[in-house]
Structure 1
Amino acid sequence: MSISVPIGTYIAVSAVMFLEYAVWGAWAPVLAARLLGPLKMSGKQTGWIYATLPLACIFAPFVTGWLADRWVNAEYILAVAHLIGAVLLFTAARIQNFSRLFVVMLFYSICYAGTLPLANTVLFRHAAADQGKVFIWAPIAWALAGYFLTGWRNLRKGEGDGSDCLKLAAVLSLAMVVASLFAPGTMPKAKEMPIVETLALLKGLDFLVFVVVSFVVAGMMQFYFLGSAQFMMDRGISGRNVPAAMAVAQAAQTVATVFVLWEAALMFFGLPKEQENVLALLGFKWTLTLGAACWLLMYVFYVAVHSRALIVVSQVLHGLAYVMFMIVGQVYVNAVAPVSIQSTAQALIFAATTGVGLFLGTQLAGIVMDQSKSEGKFQWSKIWAVPLAIVLVGTLVLAAIFQGSVPKNESSPPANSKAQIGLTVDRQPS
């Protein structure tokens, strides 16, 4: 594997990306099983606990993005936020009461949400030419967190009360503090108010459609996060093996990152250099549309399939969707936004997707799960039919309206530059 940046820079930036998503991956896929199981919380209460991160993402990324664009080095904000976050996670692991847990998780989520766009800022500022080779560490981290948790639970002969996922996330947060302090210096660059310039991007119909559809489709991920662990256990998969089963998605995400973003990934198949990866071959329009369609197909599996093996296999679709929709969406934002407002622009898409989208998706998922419960058992086909229908609409809108064009501006690298591998978006397929 060849890289364009100095090896020390690549390792430092990759460590930030790895630990940023290892922290999230340690608790997000499996905390719902603790809430619905040992803590006996309702679907609505579980939804509110999971809503803390989306709520925080509505405003926290804008605050940290503004600070990083105007005043403070991004790596310092990352270190402080994760240090406070580690303390809050250790505290959350000891709480069994809903109201207290909600408050602690809300404060934790404010800390964590502010770091999400900054991890991307560090990447795009220092290793944009190798973005695919850095992004690949995100799914690897998420998967390894799941497999480590599964191994730990098997050694202990069970998942216990499920609080181990929060303790693991806390330890990883402390490691992230160290990684942030060793990250390359990422100094502020904006001279004007970055939020005003960022909101001006919404005047373009294409970018507006992208943000709205991203908000809708990403919101449906909360059905996946809130329901999948319990769904698998109801289908006969042992609770101790659920983290490993869900980590199949991250294994698929790792492979997808190579083929979607790496340079020369498809040249092995005889394609020319200008079509060297999936993003270059399909462009933003069809890569994002295909990503949404993968989630659509996954929910079709969830509705129609009862085989444990096929349910595990369907996790591959989540991994593919996350790369082609969420990560490629972040790359699209980076391509559209001038360098001086990239932290705030990344904050905007995180606010729309991980913020407003996931918050409303959480509320909807909690309500649907509570209303689709009979005699203490979830009616999963009814539950999964809701995100299936909504993602179908989003996929059709992308296919019919979104063009994926990138305006040329003096502040961003050209669309076909090495710093934006695969972004040859002027050659959209017909």
Structure 2
Amino acid sequence: MSVKSRLGAMMFLEYAIWGSWAPVLSAYLQNNLGFTGAQLGVIFSLLPLATIVSPFLGGQFADRWFPTQKVIAALSLVGGIILILIANITAFGPMMWLMLLYCLVYAPTLALTNSIAMVNLRSSEKEFGAIRVWGTIGWIAAGWALTGWRFAARSPEGIAMKGDVLILAGVFSLVMGALSFFLPHTPPQKEGTRPWAFLEALKMFKDKNFLVFAVISFVVATELQFYYVLTSPFLTSDVIGVSQRSIGAVMTIAQFAEIFVMAFMLSWALKTFGMRRTLTLGILAWPIRYIIFVIGQPSWLVIGSLALHGFCYVFFFTAAYIYVDSIAPKDIRHSAQGLIATIILGFGNFVGSLFCGWIQDLFTTTATTAAGEAVRTINWRGAFLVPTVLTLVCLVVFVAFFREKREAAPQAAV
């Protein structure tokens, strides 16, 4: 297998793991286990919380101490075992603690898979999109695998078995662990003059443009959680009417759009518009999608608007990783990716998870039926109006203060 083929397989499995549970776990927890909006927010805040710490540690291991591919392999194997254990738990407390343990193991791999790909490509700006697109394909494959499994099971609850989303993720993680031993050998960098690479990465904040970019990345990432946490319950609500069985497949509309944008538009946009304008277009796509969610009708338009996620994610977040790689010193590239992962997947998603759970509860009313049953009603229009306004503010601030400053960073050839 060629280097690019192995890196593509790595991305496929890395995002198949995440894609197995992230888009649909909230519907399972809320509809099948009865978790509240606040409890959903806590569960979904655990991966971001872990990402605040873990990528720096993972980057330090890979930059200074161990081959990157072996770090990824060990973390993936342990993570797969933990996920299968979590699948058998239905109580909030035990699930929360085990999920935190899993997230501490998985979080470093998000940055390390980006950096190992970029280190082993001649030009990350030209070639990374073609590698990263396999992650999106893996996310889609996981969604369709889950949907097929659930339809084959014909369960009246709409799920194949207890914790099916977590079991699927665990299997993908174990396969990822085995494959990672065959990734390109990527030893730690020896030319770094200082032992603590992550401390050197923090010095990137001295650049005003990077600081503006980091702040906007944080705020946009908080609004990403409104998509990951609330979209699945929104689509399966009476407002839109998507069935529990088919929600996994419906959510992959966003990833099909990601494939198109990443494979055919990202490299073109970066060459044609430059990094600043590409990032601006990415931010613009966010309020457009949330405005459609606020309107809420017709249902086909709401479902179709999931395709905007291709521009939301690729033109902003994927481009962001390329931007960081282009300005980071060579000997701290793993830690630089860990830094941006901490900002986006860590602080941003952590705050966003708690924030969107709180917003859902804020716009939820409870009424008692004649039979004495409590019925919850969510004002989805009010809930999605919040990220609409915040992403519009981000767009204005980014255009006003961010200026692209190209710095030629040496690229490693393999």
Using the size of structure 2 for normalisation, the TM-score is 0.92
Give every structure 1 segment of 4 or more consecutive aligned residues whose post-TM-superposition deviation is greater than 6 Å: none
- Relative to structure 1, the CA distance from residue 162 to residue 94 in structure 2 (aligned partners, 3 Å threshold; closer, same or farther) is closer
* Residue in 2 that maps onto 1:49: 43
- Relative to structure 1, the CA distance from residue 251 to residue 29 in structure 2 (aligned partners, 3 Å threshold; closer, same or farther) is same
Asked if structure 1 preserves the Cα contact closer than 8 Å seen for 2:59 and 2:198, the reply is no
The correspondence for 2:62, drawn from 50, 58, 68, is: 68
* Residue in 1 that maps onto 2:261: 256
Count of aligned pairs:
393
Which deviations, in whole Å up to 9, do the C-alpha atoms of 1:261-306 show, x marking residues without a partner?
44xxxxxxxxxxxxxx111111111111111111111100100132
- Relative to structure 1, the CA distance from residue 128 to residue 116 in structure 2 (aligned partners, 3 Å threshold; closer, same or farther) is farther
Matches within 5 A, 1:165-204: 165-189=165-189, 190-192=192-194, 193-204=196-207
Asked if residue 305 in structure 1 is aligned to residue 296 in structure 2, the reply is yes
Matches within 5 A, 1:9-408: 9-129=3-123, 130-157=127-154, 158-160=158-160, 163-189=163-189, 190-192=192-194, 193-234=196-237, 235-262=240-267, 277-375=268-366, 376-408=376-408
- In the TM superposition, residue 151 of structure 1 has moved relative to its aligned partner by 1.4
* Residue in 2 that maps onto 1:274: none
* Residue in 1 that maps onto 2:373: none
- Relative to structure 1, the CA distance from residue 128 to residue 325 in structure 2 (aligned partners, 3 Å threshold; closer, same or farther) is farther
Which deviations, in whole Å up to 9, do the C-alpha atoms of 1:362-394 show, x marking residues without a partner?
111111111111230111001001111111111
- In the TM superposition, residue 122 of structure 1 has moved relative to its aligned partner by 1.2
- In the TM superposition, residue 144 of structure 1 has moved relative to its aligned partner by 1.2
- In the TM superposition, residue 145 of structure 1 has moved relative to its aligned partner by 0.9
In 2, distance between residues paired with 1:281 and 1:244?
Answer: 34
Task: State the identity %.
Answer: 36
Partner-residue secondary structure (3-state), 1:374 = strand
In 1, distance between residues paired with 2:111 and 2:232?
Answer: 27
- In the TM superposition, residue 37 of structure 1 has moved relative to its aligned partner by 1.1
In 1, distance between residues paired with 2:209 and 2:160?
Answer: 49
Letter in 2 for 1:208: L
Asked if structure 2 preserves the Cα contact closer than 8 Å seen for 1:13 and 1:127, the reply is no
In 1, distance between residues paired with 2:73 and 2:129?
Answer: 24
- In the TM superposition, residue 231 of structure 1 has moved relative to its aligned partner by 0.4
Which deviations, in whole Å up to 9, do the C-alpha atoms of 1:32-66 show, x marking residues without a partner?
01111111111001110011100000000000101
User: Greater shift after overlay, 192-201 or 318-327?
Assistant: 192-201
User: Greater shift after overlay, 324-333 or 395-404?
Assistant: 395-404
User: Greater shift after overlay, 127-136 or 82-91?
Assistant: 127-136
- In the TM superposition, residue 405 of structure 1 has moved relative to its aligned partner by 1.6
Structure 2 stretches lacking a partner, 5+ long: 367-375
- In the TM superposition, residue 159 of structure 1 has moved relative to its aligned partner by 1.9
Asked if structure 2 preserves the Cα contact closer than 8 Å seen for 1:337 and 1:345, the reply is yes
- In the TM superposition, residue 71 of structure 1 has moved relative to its aligned partner by 0.4
Partner-residue secondary structure (3-state), 1:159 = coil
- Relative to structure 1, the CA distance from residue 283 to residue 141 in structure 2 (aligned partners, 3 Å threshold; closer, same or farther) is same
RMSD: 1.4
Structure 1 stretches lacking a partner, 5+ long: 1-6, 263-276, 420-430
- In the TM superposition, residue 161 of structure 1 has moved relative to its aligned partner by 5.6
In 2, distance between residues paired with 1:283 and 1:20?
Answer: 28
